[in-house]
């Protein structure tokens, strides 16, 4: 278990990392006939990350990265912001596989 004193927190950062999911789909799923398998791109999924930056008792900077569920990441960020008195920063979400 890790305990961080709210007074030692110096930054809260949220980032939603979007990525494509690749899946294999059977084109002809009939038992006696060998199935052809093709890769498909499923809908994008988002990984919700919350970073807590803080100072250790000896003065060293440190951080913890939390992976949150899509149903409660905003509640976690709001609660941390209220407890620490620090407004959260949101980082832009680079999309994986995006080509310019």
Ranges of each domain in the chain:
6-18+46-91
Full pLDDT tens readout for the chain, 100 residues? 889 999 999 999 998 887 766 655 555 555 555 545 555 555 677 888 999 999 999 999 999 999 999 899 899 999 999 999 998 787 765 554 444 3
What confidence score (pLDDT) does residue 95 get? 52
Stated pTM of the model: 0.66
Our CA dihedral for 25, 29, 33, 35, rounded to 10 degrees, sits at: 0
Phi and psi at 63, nearest 5°, equal: -155, 155
What confidence score (pLDDT) does residue 97 get? 44
Determine the number of helices (DSSP H) and then strands (DSSP E) in the chain.
1, 4
What confidence score (pLDDT) does residue 66 get? 92
Q: How far apart are CA 64 and CA 15, in angstroms?
A: 13
């Amino acid at each position: 278990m890790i305990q961080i004193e709210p007074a030692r927190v110096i930054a809260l950062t949220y980032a939603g990392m979007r990525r494509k999911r690749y899946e294999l789909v059977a084109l002809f799923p009939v038992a006696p006939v060998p199935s052809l398998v093709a890769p498909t791109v499923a809908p994008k999924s988002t990984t919700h990350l919350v970073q807590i930056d803080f100072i250790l008792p000896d003065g060293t900077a440190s951080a913890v990265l939390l992976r949150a569920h899509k149903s409660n990441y905003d509640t976690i960020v709001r609660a941390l912001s209220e407890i620490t008195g620090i407004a959260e920063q949101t980082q832009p979400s680079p999309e994986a596989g995006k080509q310019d």
